[in-house]
């Protein structure tokens, strides 16, 4: 097996058993990045020298018997995570020269365990997008078909895992930005419950929706990564002080007697036939494993996209006000202060970011605040209550991740509404603040990956990981690799 195709647990076993060193693994991954990066475009910054130094340090740690499961494992981060001394752009020109003075809490946790940072991954600008076409640093391509999008906004994070450029990655999910690219690239992606993982040091898009999560090759790796980054952080006021379970130990329980809800609003007529076929097959697999199915309803689903694009854009308008050309990032030459603000933001932000800032500013403006923003918050409560009510009768929900497999690059970039509808099945989870996971569940007739979404109760990550693991053990979809 190629080193770059290994999972975390496979590579950890090889490192522990001295069959491999972290330096050898990191060197192999850096060579792989160099080889396939021109085709894929997953990375904005590659930190080769830093990675090799960290790998040497990890090898010493392992030799002393002080290693953990993540010691010496080469990982990469979406370029939304602050990394002390390493450029962090958030996919935007406005942050093209920003070197953070501190690191995100989630990366610090991985670094403290001895993980190796290979670099920073491409993304939609400020995490605003579903296709990774809005990055100021070029398009990321899907390793399964380079004429197609990898999904967004964590497109680089999913593509890097699928292309063998990192053993695992971290992304962020505001409306589906981990799960949708995981589905399109054939890997596992988990959006934890809001408050489960610290957002400290993550560049904010929509603060009440953003959540950090892993993208991995299999469910066992997903559990390992979540264990490593989850937990209370006093530096994040939205972090929840609740114990972190042993997610890896919870995997083996099986699904016999598990009650799985099928929300009728997610199995719609417009669903791609290949996606529908994969969902039917997945339901049959779970049934064979002993799970019980219950038809449920989430009646306010139709309002989720509109609600999301009011709340998220309003919060983005507020969060992105700080990028003014004064404190950090791109600064335009101008004759006076007002012109400098205007030019810096006009030159620094891309089309999609400008669109969302304007939408959000309008929704928050005097005379419209109650009609739009306040009303959206009320509808968000209704959507949240739908989930609370449905979970009284089921343990987990099963849905598609996206209505179609990955679409062609350029296909929807000029039609924002069609692009926004790509996240129709993922957005409600963020509005409700609960957890969900995407895992491989089949392929389209054209050989494109299709993901299955498992939605859990708040802080019910153990259950969706257990269900996902049982499904994975009963199928072979996760074993297939993109050929590059």
Distance CA 18, CA 65 (A): 12
**For residue 407, how many C-alpha atoms fall within 13 Å in the half-sphere facing its CB?**
18
Put the strands of the sheet holding 74-78 in their side by side order. 43-46, 116-121, 74-78, 168-173, 211-216, 188-191, 435-443, 449-456, 396-400, 259-263, 292-296
Contacts of 314 (CB under 8 A, 6+ apart): 360, 363, 364, 372, 373, 376
Backbone φ and ψ for 60, nearest 5 degrees, come out as -65, -40
Q: Please tell me whether residue 354 adopts helix, strand or coil conformation.
A: helix
Scan for tokens 């449920």, then name that residue.
296
Cα distance between residue 18 and residue 13, in whole Å: 8
**333-340 contact pairs (CB < 8 A, 24+):** none
Q: List the catalytic residues.
A: 78, 153, 177
CA 113 remoteness from chain centre: 21
Are residues 435 and 455 in contact, defined by beta-carbon separation less than 8 angstroms? Answer: yes
Q: How far apart are CA 222 and CA 466, in angstroms?
A: 11
Q: 431 with 383: CB under 8 angstroms?
A: yes
SS3 content of the chain, % helix, strand, coil (to 5): 45, 15, 40
Asked whether the beta carbons of 93 and 59 are under 8 A apart, the reply is no
Interatomic CA distance for residues 103 and 122, integer angstroms? 18
Neighbours of 320 (CB within 10 A): 25
* Residues 104 and 120 sit within 8 Å (Cβ to Cβ): no
Q: Which helix (H) or strand (E) holds 253?
A: none
């Amino acid at each position: 097996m190629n080193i770059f195709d290994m999972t975390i647990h496979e590579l950890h076993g090889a490192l522990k058993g001295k069959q491999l060193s972290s330096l050898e693994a990191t060197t192999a991954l850096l060579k792989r990045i160099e080889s396939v990066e021109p085709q894929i475009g997953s990375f904005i910054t590659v930190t080769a020298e830093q990675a090799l130094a960290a790998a040497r340090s990890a090898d010493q740690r392992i030799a002393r018997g002080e290693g953990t499961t993540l010691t010496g494992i080469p990982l990469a981060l979406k370029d939304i995570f602050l990394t002390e001394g390493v450029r962090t752009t958030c996919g935007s020109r406005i942050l093209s020269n920003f070197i953070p003075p501190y690191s995100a809490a989630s990366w610090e946790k991985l670094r403290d365990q001895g993980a190796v940072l290979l670099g920073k991954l491409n993304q939609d600008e400020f995490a605003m997008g579903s296709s990774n076409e809005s990055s100021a640093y070029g398009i990321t391509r899907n390793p399964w078909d380079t004429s197609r999008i990898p999904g967004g906004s964590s497109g680089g994070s999913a593509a890097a895992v699928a292309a063998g450029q990192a053993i695992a990655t971290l992304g962020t999910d505001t409306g589906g930005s981990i799960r949708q690219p995981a589905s399109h690239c054939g890997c596992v992606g988990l959006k934890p419950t809001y408050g489960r993982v610290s957002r400290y040091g993550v560049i904010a898009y929509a603060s009440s929706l953003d959540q950090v999560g892993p993208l991995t090759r299999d469910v066992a790796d997903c559990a390992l990564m979540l264990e490593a980054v989850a937990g209370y952080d006093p530096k994040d006021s939205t972090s929840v002080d609740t114990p972190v379970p042993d997610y890896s130990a919870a995997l083996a329980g099986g699904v016999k007697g598990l009650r799985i809800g099928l929300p009728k609003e997610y199995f719609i007529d417009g669903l791609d036939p290949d996606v529908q076929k994969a969902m039917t097959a997945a339901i049959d697999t779970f049934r064979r494993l002993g799970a019980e199915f219950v038809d449920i309803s989430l009646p306010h689903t139709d309002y989720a996209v509109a609600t999301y694009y009011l709340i998220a854009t309003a919060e983005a308008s507020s969060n992105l006000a700080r990028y003014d050309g004064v404190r950090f990032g791109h600064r335009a030459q101008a004759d006076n202060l007002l012109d400098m603000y205007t030019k810096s933001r006009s030159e620094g932000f891309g089309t999609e970011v400008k669109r969302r800032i304007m939408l959000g500013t309008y929704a928050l403006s005097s005379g419209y605040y109650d009609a739009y923003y306040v009303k959206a918050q009320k509808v968000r409560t209704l959507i949240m209550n739908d989930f609370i009510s449905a979970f009284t009768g089921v343990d987990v929900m099963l849905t598609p991740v996206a209505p179609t497999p990955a679409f062609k690059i350029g296909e929807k970039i000029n039609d924002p509404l069609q692009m926004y509808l790509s996240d129709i099945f993922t957005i409600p989870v963020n509005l409700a603040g609960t957890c969900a996971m995407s895992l491989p569940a089949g392929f389209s007739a054209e050989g494109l990956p299709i993901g299955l979404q498992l939605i859990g109760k708040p802080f019910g990550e153990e259950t969706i990981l257990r269900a996902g693991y049982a499904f994975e053990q009963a199928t072979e979809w996760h074993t297939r690799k993109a050929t590059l």
